[in-house]
Amino acid sequence: MKDLEAILFDLDGVIIDSEPLHEKAFRQTSLHLGRDLTQEEVASLKGTVEEIGAAKLLEYNPTATLSVVEVMEYHNNTFKALFDQMRLIPGSREVHPEGA
């Protein structure tokens, strides 16, 4: 490979394993809103875009008084606070010999 300038990866599930942290953040956000989530509810949140995930959290917590935007902000801040627990996918550090 000549003049390699960059390699682009999809970070979610290719380099890092963020799924456990997303689950923790969804659960913590839901607890903040009023109650923990069932496994079925957690499963329904996987892969959702922020607005839909926040709307679902409010649906699961009908007595919550926050807006969708406020839930998104809370969830994002909670997720960011978990970054120190982020783990690499095994083998993600290795570089293809031609890219070294």
pTM of the model as a whole: 0.80
Out of 3.65.10.10, 1.10.150.240, 1.10.460.10, 3.90.1150.170, which CATH number does the structure's domain 14-88 have?
1.10.150.240
DSSP 9-31: --HHHHTEE-HHHHHHHHHHHHH
pLDDT tens figures, 35-83: 999 999 999 999 899 999 999 999 999 999 999 999 999 999 999 999 9
Q: What is the mean pLDDT of residues 10-15?
A: 70
7 CB contacts (<8 Å, ≥6 apart)? 99
Q: How many CB atoms lie within 10 A of CB 57?
A: 26
pLDDT tens figures, 80-92: 999 999 888 887 7
**What residues does each domain of the chain span?**
14-88
User: Residue 37: what are its φ and ψ, rounded to 5°?
Assistant: -95, 150
- Give yes or no for a contact between 80 and 29, defined as CB atoms under 8 angstroms apart: no
